[in-house]
Amino acid sequence: SSAALALLGGSVAALVVWKWLGKKEIQKKIEEARRTRDEGMKKMAKAVQQFREQVPSVQRDAILSLPLLELTRRLQEGSLSPRTVLYTYLEKVSALEVTQQTNCLRHFIPECEEQLQEIQRRTEKGLLYGIPVSIKDHIGHKGHLATCGLVQGLGTLMEEDSVLVKVLKKQGAIPFAMTNVPQSLFSYECSNPIFGQTLNPLNPWKGPGGSSGGEGALIAGGGSILGIGSDMGGSIRLPSSFCGLCGLKPTAERLRWVLCPSNPARVPCALGPMARDVDSLALCMKALLCQEMFQLDPTVPPIPFNEQVYSSSTPLRVGYYDTDGYFPLPPCMRRAVKDTRHALEAAGHQLVLFSPPRVPYAVTELFLKTFFADGGRAWLDVFTGDIVDPVLKPQVNSCKMPRLVKKLLALLLKPLQFLLLLKLKEIAMISTCRSVKEMWNHQHQIQLYRSQFISQWKELQLDVVLCPVLGPAFTKGYPGKLLTAVSSTMLYNLLNFPAGVVPVSTVTEADEEELKLYKGCCGDPWDRTLKQAVSGAVGMPVAVQCVALPWQDELCLRFMKEVETLSRDQ
């Protein structure tokens, strides 16, 4: 018996040592990744210093204030050089005001200097000639990592540029920075254990949203004029809402889309642009939807950008709603829809009340069940040999719950149907697909829901829909407590409709007073949590969401442009 005890004790000690060594190895990889990033930042600062010494008289602020279309025009005509523009933006990024205050950068791309030399040798200038572009962490660039904020992503450098980066370069753009993301991309709190937490440049107590939060922070902080994000549940639109930017989630197949290790369910992950105005998004889409894209990726439909639809001034028939009947949003977000609706009516557009069908069913039974079809096992696999970010621990622990415990919780919570938003219930009530037949049936249910949604849209003869988006920016630490608060954006990932966000206002003192009376759905702990998450946001951006039918991306942008123009006039 003493031998057995000694053996058991030895086994336990060996396990403890093995775990300790594993953690030490992870820590070593993290420190190496941070060191590489810091060295890259030093290289960038050194290159900027050399440029400053050679060309001391650059009008830095004047260049940084130019809208993308004006900057493009000056680069095309030659009154500004690509070198001057690139180094002006690099200086802004390497300055403390953007990078150290927000921690938005994952890596500087030193090859931007090679791309600069390359475009200057060309006889033909592309549509994005000389424009510095930032890209989200997992959009592959040759010689760089695509981490998704995971330690397992630290070992492999990309062997070639992704299709999207190749097309950007063909059009004369200069990718110069890769931006930070939440661990596994499955959060709208932009934080991971490798590179840390990204903050909102407009208010350091607030987050920038996610998962394209690094992009949101860098562009809003003035360090980039055009960025490429990705959107699987609101990951372009939420940072755009939180940071006061314009962002478009196109129809997923319209551009080359990417799969992530954290997306085992194959929810379409749409790539799209983020910028300071709608014209920038349209120019980016026009540049990307070119022969180069269609040749490099034959799965992308060869549909060039339709300029006629984007520049049309025909009055629109606009459906609108200010709540989806699932997660009540703060008063200022509903006010934004109301004000925009009145402005559109005054401008001669026709507004029609639209009620999206069965949103609670669409979010929990369709969207989340797609993602967690296997009970979250494939998602949990990406954390093997990794440190789980504190933000994700509640979701990870919920997924680790045995199926029997989940079933018991679901039964116990069944009578509380009106508390559909309960944090525990979110995970407990997501039923998994237990067979291939059930998975096929689930996909069939999604198609039926999509058909019902389109039929309702067509019955009202709508061109587009105006609706709310989650906001204003959450205080740090709150997104992890409110997973399904993103129902407003998730819905259009499930439907695969193009959807974009436009800032139209800011939070006022009156909004803050009205928030004190906010009861949400039932005045339950989760409604109170939302109230805490968005309070203290006076002066922060308030946005609306614009939606069109699949493949009508240009119409979606045209509607966004109309909303932007009217909000600026007001």
Query: With the C-alpha atoms ordered 491, 494, 499, 502, is the resulting torsion angle positive or negative?
Result: positive
Q: Which of 37, 210, 198, 188 is nearest to 104 (CA)?
A: 198
Which one of 92, 94, 134, 136 is the catalytic residue? 136
Catalytic choice (211, 240, 241, 505): 211
Q: Give CA–CA dist 390/388, Å, rounded.
A: 6
Q: Which of 104, 331, 70 is nearest to 202 (CA)?
A: 104
Helical segments of 266-324, H only: 278-288, 291-296, 307-310
φ/ψ (deg, to 5) at 236: -95, -40
- Tokens of residue 333, six digits: 């977000």
Give every CB contact of residue 259 below 8 A, 6+ residues apart in sequence. Answer: 266, 269
Using alpha carbons, select from 102, 262, 255, 251 the residue that is nearest to residue 187: 262
Q: Residue 37: helix, strand or coil by DSSP?
A: helix
Preceding amide of 451 cis, omega within 30: no
Catalytic residue among 191, 224, 235, 280: 235
Using alpha carbons only, give the angle 194, 190, 156 rounded to the nearest 5 degrees.
40
- Structure tokens, 334: 């509903």
Name which of 84, 135, 70, 85 is nearest 108 in CA terms.
135
Could you give the CA distance from residue 142 to residue 125 in angstroms, rounded to a whole number? Answer: 23
Exposed, middle or buried, 18 (CB in 10 Å: 0-12/13-18/19+)?
Answer: exposed
Q: How far apart are CA 51 and CA 442, in angstroms?
A: 58
Alpha-carbon gap, residue 273 to 285, rounded angstroms = 8
Q: Give the span between the Cα atoms of 224 and 208, in whole angstroms.
A: 15
Q: What is the distance between the alpha carbons of residues 461 and 464, in angstroms, rounded to a whole number?
A: 9
Instruction: Answer yes or no: 206 catalytic.
Output: no
Task: Identify the sign of the CA torsion 366, 499, 553, 202.
Answer: negative
Enumerate the H helices of 55-111 as residue ranges.
Answer: 60-64, 68-77, 82-94, 99-102
DSSP 8-state symbol, 431 = -
Annotated catalytic, 211? yes
3-state secondary structure 353-392: ECCCCCHHHHHHHHHHHHHCCCCCHHHHHCCCCCCCCHHH
Assess whether the previous peptide bond of 211 is cis (omega < 30° from 0): yes
Identify the residue whose tokens are 């999207």: 164
Sign of CA dihedral 455, 461, 465, 467: negative
Q: For residues 33 and 212, what is the distance between their CA atoms, to the nearest angstrom?
A: 20
Q: Report which secondary-structure segment, H or E, holds 116.
A: helix 112-121
- Is 235 known to be catalytic? yes
* Distance (Å, whole) CA 465 – CA 356: 10
Distance CA 505, CA 336 (A): 7
Active site residues: 136, 211, 235
